[in-house]
Amino acid sequence: MTETPRAVVFDIGRVLFDWNLRYLFEKLIAERDRLDWFLAHVVTEEWHFQSDAGRPLAELVGERIAEFPDQAPLIEAYRDRFNETVDRPIEGTHALVRRLNAAGVPLYALTNFGAEFFAGFRPAEPIFELFADIVVSGEEGVAKPDPRIYAIAERRFGVAPEALFFADDNPANVAAAAARGWQAHLFTSPEALGAELAARGLPV
């Protein structure tokens, strides 16, 4: 029988907030084919992951502009308007966060997020005030699913791995948490997450 978790750890992008690079660039590139090409070859999620892993934006953006000089204004928009890649809060997940907080359940976040981007995003979102601590990959220089970032989270949170419940939308990140003994849930919807939390004895 799995013990009732003592703390809940949330991913941020696509769990707490609806995030997609397309949300920004569809405002800037009218032609669908050109938009698809740009997101597949220039500002890609794979390239962006380097920011999550700790590369400084100046280095990352400068290198990309050198590679695609004709796309410079759009690459600069990635740097300057990153908050527009977030479309909206995922309200059902926010409701779960508020209910858990009201019940006194300790809340944490473990996110792949560039340090500079998170510094500009966090102040705009009051939901983060409900979290006791947030481990940000870009600040640590290591990203999920690397086991090292889970070890950092365990030390920071001060909770035994088996007592942590973790929700993430990426199967590799969920598997890495489970491998460390965390209670790990692959996020597909707030409703499924709420049902899983309730099944584990949490007050949602």
User: Containing domain of residue 136, as a range?
Assistant: 7-16+90-199
4 phi, psi to nearest 5 deg: -65, 130
Assess whether pLDDT exceeds 60 at residue 1. Answer: no
* Domain boundary pick from 69, 85, 101: 85
pLDDT at res. 137: 98
Task: Tell me if 1 is assigned to some domain.
Answer: no
Confidence of residue 2 (pLDDT cuts 50, 70, 90): confident
Amino acid type, 88: R
pTM, 2 dp: 0.97
151 and 66 in one domain? no
Assess whether pLDDT exceeds 70 at residue 76. Answer: yes
pLDDT at res. 99: 98
Nearest-angstrom CA–CA distance, 138 and 55: 7
pLDDT at res. 187: 98
Region 92-100 average pLDDT = 98
Q: Please name every residue paired with 19 in a beta bridge, in sequence order, or none if there are none.
A: 86
Distances in Å between the Cα of 143 and the Cα atoms of 27, 75, 151 are 29, 23, 12
pLDDT at res. 41: 98
User: Which residues, including other chains, have CB under 8 Å from residue 175's CB and lie 6 or more apart?
Assistant: 145, 184
Give the pLDDT confidence of 159-187 residue by residue, as tens digits. Answer: 999 999 999 999 999 999 999 999 999 99
Assess whether pLDDT exceeds 80 at residue 202. Answer: yes
195 and 135 in one domain? yes
User: Which residues, including other chains, have CB under 8 Å from residue 157's CB and lie 6 or more apart?
Assistant: 7, 9, 106, 108, 132, 133, 164
Q: Percentage of the chain with pLDDT > 70? A: 100
**How many separate domains does the chain show?**
2
167 and 101 in one domain? yes
- Own/partner pairs, 182-187, CB within 8 angstroms, 24+ separation: 182/9, 182/150, 183/2, 183/5, 187/11, 187/14, 187/15
User: Which residues, including other chains, have CB under 8 Å from residue 32's CB and lie 6 or more apart?
Assistant: none
pLDDT at res. 18: 98
